[in-house]
Amino acid sequence: MRRKKKCQWTDHRRSAGSMIPVREIWLNRIHEERKNCCLPGPNMPTNTKKKKQRLRKPAKDKRTKKNQVSMEKSCEAFRSNRSEFEGFLDQMTQWFSDHQQQVDQHFSLEDKDQSGSVNLKDFELGLTTLSAPCQQLQLRLLTELLKTNDNNTISYQDLKRQLQRLSSTEVDVSSSKRRDDQLLNPDKDRTTENSCLMSRATL
């Protein structure tokens, strides 16, 4: 009788008890290798890329420019209204005449060089603190009219006289503009005179 050949795997077969620790060791090695791959060391380069931060547009600068343009237009509109503007100058002239001593005391604290002048921002803040009878628009226009062209400062001494000179200058400018309008549009005055005569005739 022929003997049955033993299978090849039967000679190399291991018991189940001996296979368990080998398998666990192998799995532990694989697990550790995966951990080492996922966690980069100090010398290993990282593959993570930082997202680029988008630069925001300077919306604040645009708003300030728009506000500045609107403020300038409002100042020009207020200045073109001669009756209101001249009334405002008269009111501020009287106020500076009554409160010049307080103005000098307040601005002398800000004037470290004792030059008799302050910058535009300190001038506006000072008049606001002293409760000057002017709105923000009027205060901005007054600051622009009183500032010097050399270093953008305002002399806080004898503001009453400064406003009186400013008022006389504005009156001269307005009268010259009226003369120019009359020379350019002579028919306009005739039509206004004729309308006045017609209205009187109807009365």
In a domain, 109, yes or no: yes
In a domain, 28, yes or no: no
String of DSSP letters for 157-168: SSHHHHHHHHHH
Confidence check: pLDDT of 94 > 80: yes
CATH number at residue 98: 1.10.238
In a domain, 114, yes or no: yes
Query: Rounded distance, CA 86 to CA 11, Å?
Result: 119
Query: Rounded distance, CA 87 to CA 74, Å?
Result: 17
Confidence check: pLDDT of 137 > 90: yes
Residue 75's nearest CA partner among 127, 132, 128, 144 is: 144
In a domain, 127, yes or no: yes
Region for 152 from its dihedrals, namely left if φ exceeds 0, alpha if ψ lies in -120 to 50, beta otherwise: left
| In the chain, beta strands by DSSP E | 117-119, 153-155
Residue 142's nearest CA partner among 91, 66, 107 is: 91
Total number of domains in the chain = 1
CB under 8 Å to 82, separation ≥6 — which residues? 174
Query: Rounded distance, CA 141 to CA 75, Å?
Result: 6
- At 81, which amino acid appears? N
Confidence check: pLDDT of 8 > 60: no
CB of 157 within 8 A of CB of 168?
A: no
pLDDT above 90 as % of the chain: 37
CB under 8 Å to 40, separation ≥6 — which residues? 46
Q: What is the predicted pLDDT for the residue at 70?
A: 82
User: What domain range is 116 assigned to?
Assistant: 83-157
In a domain, 197, yes or no: no
In a domain, 153, yes or no: yes
In a domain, 19, yes or no: no
Q: Looking at 53-62, 97-106, 147-156, 163-172, which range is the least confident one?
A: 53-62
Q: What is the predicted pLDDT for the residue at 192?
A: 54
- Segment 122-126 shows an average pLDDT of 96
Q: Where is pLDDT greater, at 191 or 111?
A: 111
Confidence check: pLDDT of 18 > 70: no
pLDDT band of residue 24 (cuts 50, 70, 90) is: confident
pLDDT one-digit tens code per residue, 64-86: 777 777 888 888 998 899 999 99
Query: Rounded distance, CA 23 to CA 27, Å?
Result: 6
**Residues across the chain:** 203
- Segment 2-14 shows an average pLDDT of 49
- Segment 10-14 shows an average pLDDT of 46
Mean pLDDT of the residues in the chain? 76
